[in-house]
């Protein structure tokens, strides 16, 4: 990515020992799925990917490709990267593929990467524009070895434009793309959606979509190409519905006054008596009617008319007064059997234990880590978790050999490759 960047990613590192009181009942059994390391499978089984390790969206994209069955080889710097969100062995973004450590500034290190490219289908990198070219592993260098290669480039600003060579962080990219200003409450500043919107939504997922689309083309035509995945482009694309609403007069630029930005009291969060929160999302009339009926069963039958915008302030105050009378667990139990679109706001360490997440195996315990399971799901070629995250260079010898590099011992002896 462009420059050294910080990321606000928090990952549940271990299963919580206490279950949520809202989910403790005789009728509900919460089971966390534990998986072992199976043989790789998934819809991308047989696809070979070279990952030149960056941070944030690049590793997430490589993780997703590995989750879906691709054979990914992770090329790290000999000393690892400067920015770490967790110890390498606990960094979930590194799961599912072996790590090799190569000195890319050496001629033999560069040549080793190009030899890895020869049998590969996809390469992904997250350098600033021009860096890969200066290292001798840019698109032209790689396509000279493998014309069918899909060369995926992950940056914040893109490969061209006046900002392309400057440093940036997720917060800067979403700000310029138009994604940050609308998020927040009326009268307050923009609120930062951690790095979900930029790095992972507008960045990594667009890189994955792009390289897989280009791979389809390459297999049909024999022609590889470069995929320029810029976070600014992806975030702008994600804003398509909001842009449509804005141009149709259904969205204004005053933050926190619209239907989906906490402007509507029936699409917001409310604090409970134990300091937790409930999410309310009854947008459609039938769902709001279900909420009204449920509250009426518990003595609340005086909600202001939500169809009268002039009453929205009063409705918000009334809902706040209602929700603060019970705990989150109590409200969860009350609304669970309804279509009122009311759900508890769960902290990361509690989300794996929600009955729905537990039943679907949305989070799994694998190799000592509680982590999100691969997504999406496939009926014929299910994705599986395989190897755990590894230290940079932990599998240099065996991984390079498996990819056909026959002089691994010499590379290690000469310091070009590093086996940790």
Residue 6 lies in a domain: no
Does the structure show a pLDDT above 70 at 346?
yes
- Give the residue ranges of DSSP H helices in 40-199: 57-67, 107-117, 131-135, 139-145, 170-177
At 83 the pLDDT is 66
For helices 231-238 and 170-177, angle between their N-to-C axes, nearest 10 degrees: 50
Cα–chain-centroid distance for residue 313?
Answer: 35
At 303 the pLDDT is 96
Are 119 and 212 in the same domain?
yes
Range of the domain at 281: 268-353
Q: Cα separations (Å) of 109 from 74, 256, 349?
A: 14, 52, 41
Among 320, 353, 386, where does a domain finish? Answer: 353
Could you tell me if 113 and 104 are in contact, meaning their C-beta atoms sit under 8 angstroms apart?
Answer: yes
At 6 the pLDDT is 31
CATH number of domain containing 401:
3.40.50.10540
Show Cβ contacts of residue 306 under 8 Å, excluding neighbours closer than 6 positions: 264, 265, 266, 288, 312, 315
Are 137 and 62 in the same domain?
yes
Residue 16 lies in a domain: no
Are 349 and 413 in the same domain?
no
Are 126 and 193 in the same domain?
yes
Are 69 and 212 in the same domain?
yes
Are 225 and 374 in the same domain?
yes
Residue 259 lies in a domain: no
Nearest 5°: the CA angle 283, 284, 288 is 75
Q: Cα separations (Å) of 25 from 66, 212, 263, 274?
A: 38, 45, 36, 19
Return the biggest CA–CA distance within the chain.
79
- pLDDT bracket for residue 35 (50, 70, 90): very low
Catalytic residue status for 199: yes
At 13 the pLDDT is 30
- DSSP category for residue 305: P
3-state class of 9 per DSSP?
coil
Are 166 and 314 in the same domain?
no
Could you tell me if 341 and 282 are in contact, meaning their C-beta atoms sit under 8 angstroms apart?
Answer: yes
Its pTM stands at 0.89
Show Cβ contacts of residue 18 under 8 Å, excluding neighbours closer than 6 positions: none
Q: Cα separations (Å) of 293 from 266, 298, 323?
A: 14, 9, 15
Tokens describing residue 406: 């026959």
Are 402 and 306 in the same domain?
no
Per-chain mean pLDDT for the chain: 91
Among 321, 353, 385, where does a domain finish? Answer: 353
pLDDT digits (tens, 9 = 90+) for 113-124: 999 999 999 999
Are 219 and 324 in the same domain?
no
CATH number of domain containing 321:
3.30.1540.10
**Catalytic residue (choose from 7, 169, 353, 366):** 169
Could you tell me if 71 and 94 are in contact, meaning their C-beta atoms sit under 8 angstroms apart?
Answer: no
pLDDT digits (tens, 9 = 90+) for 46-71: 999 999 999 899 999 999 999 999 99
**Catalytic residue (choose from 199, 233, 261, 268):** 199
Could you tell me if 22 and 352 are in contact, meaning their C-beta atoms sit under 8 angstroms apart?
Answer: no
Total domains in the fold of the chain: 2
pLDDT digits (tens, 9 = 90+) for 273-297: 999 999 999 999 999 999 999 999 9
Residue 248 lies in a domain: no
Catalytic residue status for 169: yes
Could you tell me if 375 and 42 are in contact, meaning their C-beta atoms sit under 8 angstroms apart?
Answer: no
Among 325, 353, 381, where does a domain finish? Answer: 353
At 21 the pLDDT is 36
In angstroms, rounded to a whole number, what is the distance separating the alpha carbons of residues 47 and 21? 45
pLDDT digits (tens, 9 = 90+) for 358-417: 999 999 999 999 999 999 999 999 999 999 999 999 999 999 999 999 999 999 999 999
Tokens describing residue 179: 């994604």
pLDDT digits (tens, 9 = 90+) for 251-262: 999 999 999 999
Does the structure show a pLDDT above 50 at 28?
no
Q: Which H or E element spans position 152?
A: strand 150-155
pLDDT digits (tens, 9 = 90+) for 161-179: 999 999 999 999 999 999 9
330 — phi, psi (to 5°)? -65, -45
Are 308 and 389 in the same domain?
no
Are 161 and 204 in the same domain?
yes
Are 72 and 185 in the same domain?
yes
């Amino acid at each position: 990515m462009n420059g050294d960047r910080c990321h606000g990613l928090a990952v549940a590192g271990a299963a919580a020992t206490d279950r949520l009181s809202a989910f403790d009942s005789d009728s509900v059994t919460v089971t966390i799925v534990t998986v072992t390391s199976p043989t790789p499978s998934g819809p991308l089984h047989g696809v070979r990917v070279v990952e030149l390790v960056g941070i944030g969206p690049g590793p997430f994209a490589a993780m997703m490709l590995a989750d879906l069955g691709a054979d990914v080889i992770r090329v790290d710097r000999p000393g690892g990267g400067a920015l770490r969100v967790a110890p390498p062995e606990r960094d979930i973004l590194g799961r599912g593929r072996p790590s090799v450590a190569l000195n890319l500034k050496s001629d033999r290190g560069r040549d080793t990467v190009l030899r890895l490219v020869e049998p590969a289908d996809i390469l992904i990198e997250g350098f600033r524009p021009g860096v890969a070219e200066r290292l001798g592993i840019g698109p032209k260098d790689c396509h000279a070895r493998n014309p069918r290669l899909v060369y995926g480039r992950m940056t914040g600003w893109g490969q061209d434009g006046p900002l392309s060579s400057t440093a940036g962080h997720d917060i800067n990219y979403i700000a310029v793309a138009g994604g940050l200003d609308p998020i927040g409450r009326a009268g307050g500043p923009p609120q930062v959606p951690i790095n979900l919107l930029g790095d992972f939504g507008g960045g990594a997922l667009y890189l994955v979509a792009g390289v897989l689309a280009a791979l389809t083309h390459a297999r049909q035509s024999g022609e590889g190409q470069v995929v320029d995945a810029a976070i600014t482009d992806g975030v702008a694309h994600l804003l398509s519905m909001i842009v449509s609403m804005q141009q149709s007069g259904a969205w204004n630029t005053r933050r926190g006054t619209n239907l989906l930005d906490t402007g509507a009291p029936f699409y917001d969060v409310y604090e409970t008596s134990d300091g937790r929160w409930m999410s309310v999302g009854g947008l459609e009339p039938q769902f709001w009617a279900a909420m009204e009926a449920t509250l009426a069963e518990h003595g609340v039958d005086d909600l202001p008319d939500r169809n009268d915008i002039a009453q929205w302030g009063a409705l918000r105050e009334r809902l706040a007064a209602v929700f603060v009378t019970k705990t989150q667990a109590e409200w969860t139990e009350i609304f669970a059997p309804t279509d009122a679109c009311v759900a508890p706001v769960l902290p990361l360490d509690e989300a794996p234990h929600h009955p729905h997440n537990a039943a679907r195996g949305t989070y799994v315990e694998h190799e000592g880590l509680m982590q999100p399971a691969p997504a999406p799901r496939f009926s014929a070629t299910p994705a599986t978790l395989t190897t755990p995250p590894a230290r940079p260079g932990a599998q240099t010898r065996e991984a390079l050999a498996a990819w056909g590099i026959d002089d691994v011992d010499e590379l290690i002896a000469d310091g070009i490759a590093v086996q940790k």
